[in-house]
Amino acid sequence: MKYLSRKSLSAALALAGAAIALPAQAQFYFSAPDLSGAPVTGAEPELGLNIPGATPEEQRAALVWHMRAALNVAALQCDFEPSLLTVSNYNAAIAHHDDELARNLATLTGYFHRTVGKGRPGDRAFDAYNTKVYLGYSTVHAQKDFCNVMGKIGRDAIFTPRGQFNQLASNRLSEVRKALKPTGEQYFNNPGYGYTTVLPDFDKKCWKKDVLTAKCMNDWNKRNSAKN
- Res 47 pLDDT > 60: yes
86-136 pLDDT tens trace:
999 999 999 999 999 999 999 999 999 999 999 999 999 999 999 999 988
Q: What is the full DSSP assignment across the chain? A: ---EEHHHHHHHHHHHHHHT--PPBTTBSS-----------S--GGG----TT--HHHHHHHHHHHHHHHHHHHHHHSTTSGGG-HHHHHHHHHHHTHHHHHHHHHHHHHHHHHHT-TTHHHHHHHHHHHHHHHHHT--STTHHHHHHHHHHHHHHHHHSPTT-HHHHHHHHHHHHHHTTS----SSTT-TTS-----PPP-SGGGEETTEE-HHHHHHHHHHHHHH-
Rounded mean pLDDT, 72-91:
91
- Res 48 pLDDT > 60: yes
Q: What pLDDT is stored for residue 179 in this prediction?
A: 86
Domain boundaries, the chain: 45-178, 195-228
5-25 pLDDT tens trace:
555 555 554 554 444 444 444
